[in-house]
Chain A
Amino acid sequence: MAIRNEWRGFKGVKWLDEVNVRDFIQNNYTQYDGDESFLTGPTEATNILWGKLQELQKAERAKGGVLDMETEVVSSMTAYGPGYIDPATKDLEKIVGLQTDKPLKRAFMPYGGIHMAEQACTTYGYQPSDKLHEIFTKYCKTHNDGVFDAYTDEMKRVRHNHILTGLPDTYGRGRIVGDYRRVALYGIDFLIEQKEIDKYNCGKRQMSEDIIRLREEISMQIKALKEMKKMAEIYGYDISQPAKNAREAVQWLYFGYLAAIKTQNGAAMSVGRVSTFLDIYITRDLQEGTLTEQEAQELIDHLVMKFRMVKFARIPSYNEIFSGDPVWATLEVAGIGQDGRHQVTKNCYRFLNTLINMGPSPEPNLTVLYSPRLPEAFKRYAAWISVKTSSIQYENDEVMRPIWGDDYSICCCVSATQTGKEMQFFGARANMAKTLLYAINGGVDAKTREQCGPKFRPITSEYLTWEELEPRFRDMLEWLADIYVNTLNLIHYMHDKYFYEAAEMALIDTDVRRTFATGIAGFSHVIDSICAVKYAKVKIIRDETGFNVDYVTEGDYPRYGNDDDRADEVAIWVLKTFLAKIKRHHTYRNAEPTTSILTITSNVVYGKYTGNLPDGRRAGAPLSPGANPSYGAEKNGLLASLNSVAKIPYEYALDGISNTQTIAPSTLGRTDEERANTLVNVMDGYFTKGAHHLNVNVFGVDKLLDAMEHPEKPEYANFTIRVSGYAVKFIDLTREQQEDVIARSAHERM
């Protein structure tokens, strides 16, 4: 095959005539072992555009969180003409493309559920269109309608009782990362050709239900690819052919992503592992003398600016669970290749440098694929960025690479997925703390007093013993796993049917692997409660009806978060027991069941609906987030806490084990340089021990308190903090969540 001009200078063979971006990267990337001294500051254009965007963000906040909203036009790739941050400065935008016709204007996306789309409008004072209402209630069915047509009474009951919460039954499920790099490397026409071949080969003889569905899906993907070309034409670009240079590569890639966020409002709309890929184009341009370092940084700054602008119209109940308007435009840097070469390029530095050039920001959700074997200079730089901005997270490449290879992306907050090879059925999470209470109370909900779970025998003894509790807890978990998996099966069936992600799936292999991502909430409380029962004496307090309402614990007991093997073994037992029960069930499209210990900010809402627990947590108080130990349980400092979390085997929670730590600058060191070095030591140790994820915040409680009381201060406009698996602007959290964050930010030693 003659090498195309767009591919001049590129090496490798396999990727030339098949879609194989990984092979392209492996053959062409340039490792960088140096430090950050080559980086450049923002250009004037960047400063002007970012200045305008900050004004818009300010106006958005002043208007109660939404700047503008569409009510008349259904979002699609070609629903609007071109949009710019400001038409007057459109020539300054090196990378173009907005979700709608105006910046920060939220599109109307009814396919997940027309009622939710309309409620989002009315919540913020917009009047939804009568015509669209008629169309989507009379003539066109949505995902949400499909789900509720099929839900059983029991499914509605578990939803209503909040033992399952945050299910993607009213909005896009997200967590599907199109391989947006394919648009840049191959151009759309080649991708269409490949999909045509797949369609030709699909179901020549046997027209089973699976095959019919797949043929329909491939056709939808091909249509989506054709529409992407039209979308790019609106902005004056022809993306039918491969990108010729770095600027085109960045732009082509962004068009792929733009197609996704114009057609889907998934909870997580991740960008993927694009940094090292784009570096190949930038390096070639730098060598050819057609691009300067300053221009390269500007391209990345402008791309990131676009990721900072992604918005979806949401309803209040959604915002309660996913607080702070997140979109999880997750984007990875670094990592190590299968051949042992690290994948740190100059572009990994450039992406982190956007946090300096344009200040801290929650989006894109910048993720460092960490390994103690990464170059020291890069580790120190990343840690220094954490110290300065608290805006990035770290995930252990050493535990993920053996499972997902060396070209995986993070598809949500922390979950890995092989780029272009896999998709995920997002399953929110089940409240395990509540399940424990159901086991004690025979399936009756402590909050609603409804018989939500199965009517097993409640515990009637004076003291809670493990002999009595264990079999009941196992039975209740069995029930939970059953209702959970079945509910998700139903939801994803309907999502495929009514809200199929044609644009993203067009950029993923036709023969896609699927994971089925369940999740656990209330992890630490279940562990500590079990430990209390096992190692201390837990007396049950009953109300006048004989219902178990509270627990008095006499004596000391080990608690999760102290590097105490007795408690940490319970943690492992809980996880393994739950996953084993999940795995017993059939999953929709034979997806591989996984689980996560990850709660986003839903720990606050989940806690509201959970009664008193034997570990002393009071009814209504927030649950501990993700895999974090309970607030106040940690008695031996940060590393003891990290050691406990590091013991949880990633193999049993492939969807992720999230841990968020806030460290006061004074406890990390006396200067920023010292702090960065300490952080590198901490992460080297934590990840060497096999941990999966770490969110790092570096600031003191005093700053949080001041930001809560004085959100109007300019220095807090972009004050970004990491919460469970993502970042938010602190001032965008609800007061309740702010207080929760403050209560947990106490790693300050006396």
Chain B
Amino acid sequence: MKECNSRTNAEAQRLRIHSFESFGSVDGPGVRFIAFVQGCAMRCAYCHNPDTWSCHGGELWETADILDRAERYRAYWGEKGGITVSGGEALLQAPAVADLFEQAHARGINTCLDTSGFYPAPSDPTPTDPAPTVVGGLSADISRLLAATDTVLLDIKHIDPARHKALTGQDNAGILALARRLSELGIKTWIRHVLVPGYTDDEPSLRALNAFLRTLHNIERIEVLPYHTMGKYKWQKLGIPYRLEGVEPPTAESVARAEQILREGCSC
């Protein structure tokens, strides 16, 4: 994780990219160009892109080049579409993503950040930011990034701290803090929750998550994403033992039920 965050000055304007997808239609409003960044600090048991975990690999891309590439698809975006940065974890490369989004806005392109909400503590100095300032509990980089973000897709893995840690390897305190901050800033947010039978689908947990969501005022959508096994082959390819062996995708009914619970009392 430390490696992801410590980049040389030469890399400041560049993003470590895993891959691009020209056609995203469920990753933010409208049709979107998606840049998947390389590097993530979470180790979610159900991750379908474990190949994006490592902070090495991928390809370094100039932000302007990414936008040039994205603009090839501008004709498809209509009024709502634009670009989405997904991952991996975009917040680990917050300065470059902030640059990217600021330049996108200068070009009139709508921006969307798809994040797990997990980022390194703002007080950790990095080579590019030896004395980070903290604004509203967030580092200056992340504040700058959010200022250039039109929509956030925030994936809340679990509301319970201990179970979150067991599932993802990380704490959720910072993630929930970010969710509150997004609400204060009034940034349009879509909440996502992956439904894994036996891990994230019990009613008390869903109710607790719903209670938290009710305290937020910026939620446009709440989506339940059914766990699927389509990424499993990647674990095998990478030689990482798959922790959810034998877990079946949830039924359509349980997804609908979970959505109903999570949306209760929310304005979306």
* Residue ranges of A at the interface with B (Cβ–Cβ < 8 Å): 563, 636-643, 666-670, 674, 677-678, 680-682, 684-686, 688-689, 747, 749-750
Contact = CB atoms under 8 A, between A and B. Distances in A.
B21 A678 contact: no
B23 A639 contact: yes
A639 B26 contact: no
Contacts of B234: 750
B14 to A, nearest CB: 20
A637 B75 contact: no
Task: Give the secondary structure class of A's interface.
Answer: helix
A667 B21 CA distance: 12
> Which 7 pairs of residues, A with B, have the shortest CB-CB distance?
A685-B76, A639-B22, A685-B75, A638-B23, A637-B22, A640-B22, A681-B78
B73 interface: yes
28 contacts: A563-B22, A636-B21, A639-B22, A639-B23, A640-B23, A640-B72, A640-B73, A643-B72, A667-B23, A669-B26, A677-B78, A678-B25, A681-B31, A681-B77, A681-B81, A684-B75, A684-B76, A685-B31, A685-B75, A685-B76, A685-B77, A685-B78, A686-B75, A686-B76, A689-B75, A747-B23, A750-B230, A750-B234
Contacts of B74: 685
A637 B76 CA distance: 13
Nearest to B31: A681
B126 interface: no
Nearest to A747: B23
Contacts of B58: none
B76 A639 contact: yes
A636 B81 contact: no
Given A669-B25, A749-B21, A681 B48 contact: no
A686 B234 CA distance: 33
B30 interface: yes
A267 to B, nearest CB: 34
Interface string B130-148: 0000000000000000000
A532 to B, nearest CB: 22
Nearest to B73: A639
Contacts, number: 75
Task: Give the secondary structure class of B's interface.
Answer: loop
B38 to A, nearest CB: 16
A636 B33 CA distance: 10
Nearest to B78: A681
B26 A682 contact: no
B249 interface: no
Contacts of A686: 75-76
B231 interface: yes
Contacts of B48: 750
A636 B20 contact: yes
Contacts of A680: 78
Given A639-B76, A678-B31, A686-B76, A750 B231 contact: yes
A686 B223 CA distance: 29
A667 B22 CA distance: 12
B49 interface: yes
A750 B81 contact: no
Nearest to A683: B76
Contacts of A688: 75
B126 to A, nearest CB: 31
Interface residues of B, number: 24
B25 A668 contact: yes
Contacts of B78: 677, 680-681, 684-685
A681 B76 contact: yes
Contacts of A685: 31, 73-78
Interface in B141-184: none
Interface in B1-50: 20-26, 30-31, 33, 48-49
A670 B26 contact: yes
A750 B48 CA distance: 7
Contacts of A689: 75
A640 B31 CA distance: 13
Nearest to A675: B25
Contact of B26 (A643, A667, A684, A750): A667
A670 B268 CA distance: 15
Interface string B229-255: 011001000000000000000000000
A563 to B, nearest CB: 6
A371 to B, nearest CB: 14
Interface in B184-241: 223, 230-231, 234
Nearest to A678: B25
Nearest to B20: A636
A293 B216 CA distance: 49
A640 B72 CA distance: 9
A46 to B, nearest CB: 33
Contacts of B30: 677-678, 681
Contact of B22 (A638, A677, A681, A684): A638
A566 to B, nearest CB: 14
Interface string B47-64: 011000000000000000
Nearest to B77: A681
Nearest to A682: B76
Given A637-B20, A681-B78, 20 more contacts: A636-B20, A636-B21, A636-B22, A637-B21, A639-B33, A642-B76, A643-B72, A668-B25, A670-B26, A677-B78, A678-B25, A678-B30, A681-B25, A681-B77, A682-B23, A685-B31, A685-B75, A689-B75, A749-B24, A750-B234
A636 B23 CA distance: 8
Nearest to B34: A637
A677 B74 CA distance: 16
A678 B24 CA distance: 10
Contacts of B26: 666-667, 669-670
B223 to A, nearest CB: 7
Interface in B51-105: 72-78, 81
Contacts of A674: 25
A713 to B, nearest CB: 19
A638 B30 CA distance: 15
Contacts of B21: 636-637, 749
Contacts of A637: 20-24
- The residue among B23, B72, B75 with the most chain A CB atoms within 10 A of its own CB is B23
A516 B147 CA distance: 59
B25 to A, nearest CB: 4
B76 to A, nearest CB: 3
Contacts of B22: 563, 636-641, 643
B139 to A, nearest CB: 32
Nearest to B30: A681
A124 B24 CA distance: 48
A750 B207 CA distance: 29
B191 to A, nearest CB: 14
- The residue among A638, A639, A643, A666 with the most chain B CB atoms within 10 A of its own CB is A639
A666 B230 CA distance: 14
Contacts of B23: 637-640, 667, 682, 747
Contacts of B20: 636-637
A248 to B, nearest CB: 43
A750 B51 CA distance: 12
Contacts of A677: 30, 78
Contacts of A638: 22-23
A682 B25 CA distance: 10
A679 to B, nearest CB: 9
Nearest to B81: A681
A563 B72 contact: yes
Contacts of A747: 23
Nearest to B228: A750
A667 B76 CA distance: 15
Contacts of A750: 48-49, 230-231, 234
Contacts of B81: 681
Contacts of A749: 21, 24
B192 to A, nearest CB: 12
B235 to A, nearest CB: 12
- The residue among B74, B76, B81, B234 with the most chain A CB atoms within 10 A of its own CB is B76
B231 A670 contact: no
- The residue among B75, B78, B231 with the most chain A CB atoms within 10 A of its own CB is B75
